[in-house]
Amino acid sequence: MTEEERVKYETLYKKCWIAQNIKDKGDNPRFNGGKDPSRPNVNNQQNGRQGGRKRKISKDGNRRKKWRYKGRALQAERARQER
């Protein structure tokens, strides 16, 4: 398929897509329309993954987290004692 044929096919496909969306909207008023085929497939989330259930930390990860926290607590306590 040449570049010219591809562009011709894409314009025809887009016209048919829009016509079908209009028909679907008439059949179902709550239809929000399909995604426009000419637009890139973009995820509307900003700054990566948002929401959802948080993943569980492994036992080893929990242990490291506690060690880090204890280390910071000890540093803060030593700093208070030095004052």
pLDDT for 69 equals 79
Domain boundary assignment for the chain: 1-26
Q: How many Å separate Cα 79 from the centre of its chain?
A: 43
CA–CA–CA angle 45, 41, 13 (5° rounding): 150
C-beta of residue 57 within 8 angstroms of C-beta of residue 63: no
Instruction: Please tell me the pTM assigned to this model.
Output: 0.39
**Cα–Cα distance list, 35 to 12, 15, 58 (Å):** 16, 13, 39
Closest CA to 37 of 20, 55, 61: 20
For each of the chain's 83 residues, which pLDDT tens digit applies?
A: 889 999 999 999 999 988 988 888 888 877 766 665 555 555 555 555 556 677 787 888 787 788 787 887 777 778 878 77
How confident is the model over 66-77, as pLDDT tens digits? 878 788 777 777
